[in-house]
């Protein structure tokens, strides 16, 4: 599931509920709500997946800071290997195109200066209600 209204997805041709095949894995991250969580934080995507037999989710996020910085995390180790098409498994052209387009948009916007001032995160942590439970022992 992606939130297509996020500025970083503007050229990625994605809609609400779209899935990007095989992008999550073999290691992924998610939000664990706590007082130390940077705010505002926007969960951009959420994907269920299985980690060592334990069902969990992977989430990509974007947050901004008072200094004007913007921080993006893809939430999956496969983002980097999709850029150079050297993952442990073949990824579809749909997946590679998505990663290239989003990365291109991010690089263009970050290069223009403090991206957080132009594109502040739209905090949606309460709306997305991430679980505070660490279900996977390695996470």
Q: What is the 3-state secondary structure (H, E, C) of the chain?
A: CECCCCHHHCCCCCCCCCCCCCCCCCCECCCCCCCCCCCCEEEEEEEEEEECCEEEEEEEEEEECCCCCEEEECCECHHHHHHHCCCCCCCCHHHHHHHHHHHHHHHHHHHCCCHHHHCCCCCCHHHHCCCCCCCCCCC
* pLDDT < 70: residue spans in the chain: 1, 133-139
Q: What is the pLDDT of residue 123?
A: 95
Q: What is the pLDDT of residue 139?
A: 47
Half-sphere exposure of 93 (CA within 13 A, CB side): 0
This prediction's pTM = 0.90
Q: What is the pLDDT of residue 71?
A: 98
Q: What is the pLDDT of residue 2?
A: 74
Decide: 42 and 63 in contact? Cβ < 8 Å.
yes
Average pLDDT, the chain: 91
Q: What is the pLDDT of residue 134?
A: 63
């Amino acid at each position: 599931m992606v939130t297509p209204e996020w500025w970083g997805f503007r050229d990625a041709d994605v809609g609400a509920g779209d899935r990007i095949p095989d992008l999550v894995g073999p290691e992924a991250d998610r939000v664990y709500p706590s007082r130390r969580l940077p705010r505002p934080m926007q969960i951009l995507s959420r994907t269920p997946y299985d980690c060592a037999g334990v069902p969990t989710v992977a989430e990509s996020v974007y947050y901004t800071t008072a200094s004007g910085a913007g921080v993006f995390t893809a939430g999956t180790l496969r983002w980097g290997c999709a850029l150079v098409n050297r993952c442990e498994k073949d990824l579809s052209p749909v997946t590679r195109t998505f990663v290239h387009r989003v990365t291109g948009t991010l690089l263009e916007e970050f290069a223009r200066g403090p991206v957080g001032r132009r594109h502040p995160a739209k905090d949606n942590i309460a709306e997305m209600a991430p679980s505070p439970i660490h279900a996977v022992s390695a996470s």
